[in-house]
Structure 1
Amino acid sequence: MLGLDLGTSLGVARLFTDGEIDAQTVWLEATIGARTVGVAGIVKRFAGPDCIGVCIEEPFSGQFSSVKALFPMLGAAILACELEGLPWSAVHLSRLKIHATGKGNAKKPEMQAAAKERWGVSLKEDEADASWAAAYAMDSNLFV
């Protein structure tokens, strides 16, 4: 399962059926065009033939300057999934927070602490969110 947390620092997590996690932060260039190309490349690179699906944290923000970059990135990720023949889903952050911590308003440190408890590794903020996107999809049998 591949989980994505969109942003200038892109959280990418691969969750394997044996429970192992591989999470990392990928820094993308600041322009919207470079970010969209970058996220499409990440999907192609990390979603190999054994990938069950891709779960993407839905873009959210009260500031238009943030959202105007996130929605093209979401579109690029979805297009990359479609071109690779991968099922995908976009999930609201509050649903991921509930899955991770039991509460929809959990803060980033709580998401990171829940990730440390589940996988035994310390993850950066974006990595934890991406990991919970992948975990939500796997635990919910989203693509089965």
Structure 2
Amino acid sequence: MPTVRLESNIGSRTVGVAGIINRFAGLDCVGVCIEELFSGQFSGVKALLPMLGAAVLTCELAGLPWSAIHLAQLKIHATGKGNAKKPDMQGAAHARWGVDLKEDEADAAWAAAYALDTPLFN
């Protein structure tokens, strides 16, 4: 039965990814920076593939530019270290923005910062 819960969680998260992109896909949106898949346990990749597909499809349908960025690049941008851990990313986010973010929120914030701080979409 845990597989059923995992599958429904993947589905709801996939729909959530598309909803977030659509919500912020206004005229001032320069593009969407998507974290590339990384090797790991199959269950993690299995969960990320549908979300990656939803993000790319939503961007294409909305006419938004998108780019997949290697996780190490985001970590270097945030902390200066390509092997930074989640707490490092959170600490860098707190140092830059003065807010405490959850692990996944910090990763997403750094993807957005990377897109804005670099010529990714220029």
Give the TM bin, normalised by the shorter chain.
0.7 to 0.9
Residue of structure 2 in register with 1:78 after alignment: 56
1:43 aligned partner: 21
Does 2:76 correspond to 1:98? yes
In proportion to residue count, which structure has more helix? 2
> Do residues 60 (structure 1) and 60 (structure 2) align?
no
* Structure 2: stretches of 5+ with no match in the other structure: 1-6
Larger Rg: 2
Name 1:108's counterpart in structure 2. Answer: 86
Count of aligned pairs: 116
Instruction: Supply the distance in 2 between the matched residues of 1:42 and 1:68 (Cα, whole angstroms).
Output: 21
CA distance, structure 2, for counterparts of residue 100 and residue 66 of structure 1 = 23
- Normalised by the length of structure 1, the TM-score is 0.74
Check 1:115–1:38 CA distance in 2 against 1; reply closer, same or farther (3 A cut): same
Q: Tell me the distance in 2 between the aligned counterparts of 1:86 and 1:69.
A: 24
Residue 138 of structure 1 and its aligned partner are, at CA, apart by: 1.1
Give the deviation of 1:141 after TM superposition.
Answer: 1.7
TM-score, normalization by structure 2: 0.87
Aligned to 2:111: 133
More strand as a share of residues: 1
Residue 124 of structure 1 corresponds to which residue in structure 2?
102
Once residues 34 and 109 of structure 1 are traced to their aligned partners in structure 2, the CA distance between those partners, rounded to angstroms, is 26
Q: CA deviation at 1:98?
A: 0.5
CA offsets 1:24-62 (integer angstroms, 9 cap, x no match): xxxxx8443333222112211122221111111112242
Identity of aligned residues (%): 78
Cα distance in 2, alignment partners of residues 75 and 85 from structure 1: 15
Query: Residue 90 of structure 1 aligns to a residue in which SS?
Result: strand
Structure number with the bigger relative contact order (C-alpha 8 A, sep ≥ 6) is 1
Q: Deviations over 1:64-114 (max 9, x none)?
A: 111112111101101100111110111111110001111111111111111
